[in-house]
Structure 1
Amino acid sequence: MTPDQYLYGILSREAVDTSATSPALAVRQTLMPLLNEWAGAMLRGVYPSGSFAKQTSNRSGTDIDLFVSLSNQTTESLKEIYTKLFNRLGEKGYAPKKQNVSLNIRVNGFDVDLVPAKHQGGNGEYHSLYRRRADTWTQTNVNTHISKVSASGRTSEIRVIKLWRNQHQLDFPSFYLELAIIEALSGARGSLSDNVWKAFGYLAGNFANARFVDPANTNNVISDDLSATERAAIKAAAVRALATTNWNQIVV
């Protein structure tokens, strides 16, 4: 078996149904009564975002991210919105887990990340989100994120690196990872295995000191989401990957 055959076999096993009839999408309808009750007239909409929408998700990762868009007329602060949704989910028996900008719950066997955000107003899709780790807020456009990644031509390589991240228990936020791999493979024309190997070379080299900004808001420095120690852990893991003699020592 060639390295490419091995990696494509893993990606086939980890394939996620992102079609309109995807079972994961059905959780949106399950949650709509709760979200409508919680937000009332302030709810603009709930739609897929994150890895699911970018075509970079894996079956063994989070099943779906749902972006919860609230009107700019919402009076609560972003922190209050985040906290109140957390409390309401708990009241309904979902046992939510706080993440950086999202709340993770299990719904009908699916792993779901809810991202509450307040619309900035106007015709665009700019939103403000609460960032729990820094106890601050940021402005961004999730549609820009989706377009940047899904049109990159690097979704297969990103999926392999995400599996490696999860299997080696690395703290590496998905959008940060996606931007890093797109940068690592700029201009690359190799096979899947060649490109993934090149991505490891980047993670083991320039990555730790590289600055990544949100393509929808350059004031939002994505690389600040990890400390120097956390970036060093990713670098060390990539160095170990490059020292292996078989792909099954890297990702399975």
Structure 2
Amino acid sequence: MSDNDYLQDLLKSQELEEGCDELDALDTERDKVDDLLKEAFPTSNPNFTHGGSRAKGTMIREDYDLDEVCYFDHDDTGPGDTLEEIYESVAAVLEENYMVRRKRSALRLKTKSGKDLRIDVVPGRYTSDEGTDVFLHQNEGDKERLKTNLEVQIAHVRDSGCTDVIQLTKLWRTRNAIGIKTFPLELLVIEVLDGNNGGNLQVRFERVLNEFADNIDDLYIEDPANPTGNNLSHALTDELRQTLADVARDTIDAAAEHGWEHIFGKLEMKATTLPKVAALGAAAAAVGGAAPPWASEDK
């Protein structure tokens, strides 16, 4: 089997088909969340829709979740007068049934016993009657609010022609515990391949990793829904750029010497999610070599 065939089969092993147990569980919990918020704000008629990797076509089995956006009309003050009040009102409703972790603009849900449900709820308010652009509250950064458009973001990624490479890069990110958020990573891959998206999966993936290794400081990302208004510098700190460059170079060198199965492991081992160190150790054992140099908890 060629390296490219292996990577193609690896992606197939990471597919989550509609109707599978994992997605059914997400949808069941999502419906509960929607019902709770509809009941809590009966006069508001909040608009719910899917975001995230499922809508973009970049979901992988090993690291998936569901973004459930909850947008209110631009003149609706039922859930609160300000974006922060809306955010906190939605959080308070959810906290009656879940453990809620406040993120930058989203609310991460766990059961009361602490099990992660893989669901982020994103409250917001439409900027006008058109129901397209929205304002989101931000807990961090210089700006209290963020103007964006979910549909534009989804289309930018979904229609990029890079979703397969994005999925593989996400798996690489997850296996190496690199702390970059999914949307900035998707934008980075699209940025790298924008000028040259030719070749098979292996060629394009290696092009991305080589660019990370050699030119990470030259890569720039922007929110396609608000290019000049949203600063994404927080998503690519100097430390994170260095980590991406270091791990990308280690990966390219190891793959060139041992092949890609050494990096990701035998496909039958990927039926269930393995912790990062266990997965990398299994990959090394599969080819009879030592563990890759980045296979440590300190990375």
Q: TM-score if structure 1 supplies the norm length?
A: 0.89
Shift of 1:138: 0.7
* One-letter identity of the residue aligned with 1:241: T
Report what 1:196 is aligned to.
Answer: 205
Aligned partner of 1:228 among 225, 228, 238: 238
* Pairing 1:96–2:100 present: yes
Q: Say if 2:212 and 2:245, in contact at 8 Å, map to a contact too.
A: yes
Give SS of 1:206's match: helix
Moved more, 144-153 or 223-232: 223-232
Deviations 1:3-54 (A, max 9, x none): 12222222112112347x9523333322222111333322431111111100
The answer for unaligned runs of 5 or more in structure 2 is 266-299
CA–CA distance in structure 2, aligned partners of residues 37 and 126 of structure 1: 25
* One-letter identity of the residue aligned with 2:50: P
* One-letter identity of the residue aligned with 2:62: S
CA change 1:39–1:2 in 2 (3 A) is farther
Report what 1:67 is aligned to.
Answer: 69
Give SS of 2:48's match: strand
CA–CA distance in structure 1, aligned partners of residues 63 and 45 of structure 2: 27
Give SS of 1:65's match: strand
Shift of 1:208: 2.9
Give SS of 1:5's match: helix
Report what 1:114 is aligned to.
Answer: 121
Report what 1:6 is aligned to.
Answer: 6
Give SS of 2:247's match: helix
* One-letter identity of the residue aligned with 1:225: A
Q: Say if 1:28 and 1:46, in contact at 8 Å, map to a contact too.
A: no
Shift of 1:178: 0.9
Q: Say if 1:43 and 1:69, in contact at 8 Å, map to a contact too.
A: no
* Pairing 1:123–2:94 present: no
* One-letter identity of the residue aligned with 1:102: A
Aligned partner of 1:173 among 169, 181, 191: 181
* Pairing 1:32–2:34 present: yes
CA–CA distance in structure 1, aligned partners of residues 180 and 262 of structure 2: 20
Shift of 1:225: 2.5
RMSD over aligned CA atoms reads 2.4
Report what 2:48 is aligned to.
Answer: 46
Figure out how many residues of one structure are paired with residues of the other and give that number.
251
Shift of 1:207: 2.6
* One-letter identity of the residue aligned with 1:60: E
Shift of 1:110: 4.6
* One-letter identity of the residue aligned with 1:91: E
CA–CA distance in structure 2, aligned partners of residues 43 and 230 of structure 1: 40
Aligned-residue sequence identity (percent) comes to 26
Deviations 1:56-75 (A, max 9, x none): 01122233211111121233
The answer for unaligned runs of 5 or more in structure 1 is none
Q: TM-score if structure 2 supplies the norm length?
A: 0.76
Give SS of 1:138's match: strand
Q: Say if 1:43 and 1:68, in contact at 8 Å, map to a contact too.
A: no
* One-letter identity of the residue aligned with 2:219: A
CA change 1:106–1:59 in 2 (3 A) is farther
